[in-house]
């Protein structure tokens, strides 16, 4: 295979498995990496017009009841930790609406086998508060029945997350020992049965070095099989003293950005974004590598102390709840990167 021929081909059609592996193996130098990123940006521009939208997100809406917790995850490790009260979630949704941001996600932990009653209560409260024109993505593990998701759809929920992080079953079992791969797979198909769009995610730097590129390619293509797939986020492994994987090497931004770029070459017009573990500065590199077209800019969360140094300062806090607004930084980044943000 010739590097430049492959890049020419993937401008016109989705990358194949063999080409994706070839591109991971042949973009370790800065020069090749930059050529890869330029191709990914060209695909993004052709497919999406490079127009971006701000989104919001409310975290810790449900506790995680997986035992053990995932080995890379710093959430829910303190004994006295509670999820955000429903009133605070509704207040967060009001804040987004006030700021003109009508699309947001609710993220929380997993209760395997749950019917999803708690999610129903949260979404019902948001809509009963009159916030009926908001597009909501629910990302709370593989933990809802088809009936629950049908009800969410009837209320106007937009999409549901089924996030694998990695689809190598052996590595999945090791890094997510309390989770269940088959249930997640079933859940991903149940989202389609309920008639909803699906979001998923891959974590860069999570698997062993020896099979890392193969694992990226398999994860990308395994997730691509879902016809209702609408968005994929790429998070970036970041060690924290509280997690069992505290001495696992942090994923470099260059490697994570290459995963973003190759995801763009496969998923084309879908929403490919950066997620947890990317600093504000590193997110610019994600955009240069082809990420888009939503920009997570308004965040509501409980005060937490993990990932010190990578988290942006809170814009303001109320009752132990932090609000972050990164729109100014993102507008500056958009100008630098030559992309357009459609506000309102
Ligand atoms: S399911 Fe999510 S919240 Fe729960 S331990 Fe795993 S990554 Fe953390």
pLDDT at residue 308 in the model: 60
Give residue 64 CA to ligand 1 midpoint distance, Å.
6
Query: Residue whose CA is closest, atom 3 of ligand 1?
Result: 109
Asked if the model's pLDDT at residue 344 lies above 70, the reply is no
pTM of the model: 0.95
pLDDT of residue 312: 67
pLDDT tens, residue by residue, 246-260: 999 999 999 999 999
Is 140 close to ligand 1, i.e. is its CB under 6 Å away? no
Digit-coded pLDDT (tens) for 315-336: 888 878 899 999 999 999 999 8
Please work out whether the CB of residue 163 comes within 6 Å of at least one atom of ligand 1.
Answer: no
Report the distance separating Cα 118 and Cα 121, nearest Å: 5
Using pLDDT thresholds of 50, 70 and 90, give the confidence band for residue 310.
low
Atom of ligand 1 nearest to the CA of 110: 1
pLDDT at 311 over 80: no
User: How many A from CA of 36 to the centre of ligand 1?
Assistant: 32
Class at the top of the CATH hierarchy for domain 3-341:
alpha beta
pLDDT of residue 316: 81
- The two tokens of residue 265 are 């070459």
Exposure string of 20-30, with b = 16+ CB inside 10 Å and e = fewer, is: bbbbbebbeee
Atom of ligand 1 nearest to the CA of 141: 1
- Quick one: what percent of the chain has pLDDT higher than 90? 88
CA angle 263, 265, 271 (to 5 degrees): 55
Whole-angstrom Cα distance, residue 229 to residue 199?
6
Domain ranges of the chain: 3-341
How many angstroms is it from 109 CA to the middle of ligand 1? Answer: 5
pLDDT the model gives residue 163:
97
Mean pLDDT of the chain: 94
Give, using CA atoms, the residue closest to atom 8 of ligand 1: 73
């Amino acid at each position: 295979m010739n590097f430049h021929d492959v890049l020419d081909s993937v401008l016109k059609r989705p990358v194949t498995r063999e080409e994706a592996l070839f591109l991971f193996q042949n973009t370790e130098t800065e020069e090749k990496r930059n050529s890869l990123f330029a191709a990914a940006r060209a695909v993004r521009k052709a497919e999406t017009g490079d127009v971006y939208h701000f989104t919001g997100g409310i975290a810790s809406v449900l506790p995680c009841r997986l035992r053990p917790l995932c080995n890379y995850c710093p959430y829910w490790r303190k004994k006295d930790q509670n999820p955000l009260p429903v009133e605070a979630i509704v207040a967060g949704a009001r804040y987004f609406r006030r700021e003109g941001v009508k699309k947001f996600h609710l993220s929380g932990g997993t209760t395997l086998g749950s019917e999803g009653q708690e999610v129903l209560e949260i979404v019902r409260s948001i809509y009963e508060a009159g916030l009926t024109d908001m597009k909501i993505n629910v990302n709370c593990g593989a933990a809802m029945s088809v009936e629950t998701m049908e009800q969410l759809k009837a209320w106007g929920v937009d999409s549901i997350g089924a996030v694998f992080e990695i689809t190598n079953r052996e590595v999945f079992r090791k890094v997510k020992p309390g989770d269940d791969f088959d249930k997640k797979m079933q859940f991903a198909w149940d989202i389609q049965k309920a008639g909803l769009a699906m979001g998923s995610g891959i974590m860069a730097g999570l698997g062993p070095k020896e099979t890392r590129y193969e694992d990226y390619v398999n994860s990308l293509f395994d997730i691509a099989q879902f016809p209702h797939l609408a968005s994929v986020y790429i998070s970036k492994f970041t060690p924290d003293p509280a997690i069992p994987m505290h001495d696992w090497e942090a994923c470099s931004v260059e490697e994570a950005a290459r995963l973003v770029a190759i995801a763009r070459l496969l998923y084309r017009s879908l929403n490919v974004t950066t997620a947890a573990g990317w600093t504000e500065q590193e997110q610019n590199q994600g955009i240069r590598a082809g990420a888009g077209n939503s920009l997570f800019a308004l965040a509501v969360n409980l005060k937490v102390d993990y990932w010190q140094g990578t988290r942006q300062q809170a814009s303001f806090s109320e009752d132990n709840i932090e609000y972050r607004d990164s729109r100014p930084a993102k507008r500056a980044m958009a100008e630098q990167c030559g992309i357009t943000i459609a506000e309102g």
